[in-house]
Chain A
């Protein structure tokens, strides 16, 4: 089954403790991206990647890092999480470009205390 898998689904952590949210797709997609969803703000793009070793900033990249060492994986790294990063995070992938059909994961609800 074609899918984008994010882990974990829920995560509670404390300020400053480094964490990684994993994202994996099994569709051989070139384009992958991360978003956060906040009440009243909709979905905002954090980072995106056109292909292996090619990443770029979206609208709200501050406080986040990503890496794309393999085509299928695109982890989101919070080196020093802060409470304002409490949010619902989504990973997505598409065949090659942002304007093509994006397949989203089920989301990761992160709470930073």
Chain B
């Protein structure tokens, strides 16, 4: 069963606009949720995380929202920049395990 789902394989957004990446989860036991970004031929890099007891966390242009009742989280990037073009992975963590989603490829259009 897929505990962390990213249902949009890709997303295209105009430069300067808001990018919203979505993630759904089925496991209510996750303690933390995390977002990672990955460029081709590189390892993923950490973007932002949120504890399951919070509903929002912000870091510069990146904000993560957590809706526990809907088991849904989203990553907002404002404003979107060309360097944001990458694959974004959502993940849930419980105890010492981590489950990643399949990823969403974000294209920032000029």
Listed in ascending order, the chain A residues whose CB lies under 8 Å from chain B are 4, 31, 33, 35, 40-45, 48, 50, 56, 58-59, 90, 92, 97-99, 101-107
Count contacts on B: residues with CB < 8 A to the other chain. 24
Find out whether the CB atom of A31 lies under 8 angstroms from the CB atom of B96: yes
Judge whether B96 and A4 touch: CB under 8 Å: no
Name 17 extra pairs, CB < 8 A, besides A98-B98, A102-B98.
A4-B43, A42-B100, A42-B101, A43-B89, A43-B103, A44-B100, A45-B100, A48-B96, A48-B98, A92-B43, A97-B93, A98-B96, A99-B98, A104-B43, A104-B45, A106-B41, A107-B43
Give min CB distance, B45 to chain A, whole Å.
Answer: 7
Assess the A105–B43 pair: CB atoms within 8 A.
yes
> Do A99 and B36 contact each other (CB < 8 Å), given the known contacts A48-B96, A59-B99, A90-B44?
no
Interchain nearest-CB distance for A11 vs B (Å): 16
Task: Provide the bound-state CA to CA distance between A110 and B14, in Å.
Answer: 36
Query: Chain B residues in contact with chain A, CB under 8 A?
Result: 6, 31-32, 34, 36, 41-46, 49, 89, 91, 93, 95-103
A99-B32, A99-B49 given; A45·B43 CB < 8 A: no
Minimum Cβ distance to chain A for residue B71 (Å): 18
Residues A98 and B93 in contact, CB atoms below 8 Å apart:
yes
Closest to A94 in B: B46
- The distance in angstroms between the C-alpha atoms of A11 and B95, with both chains bound, is 33
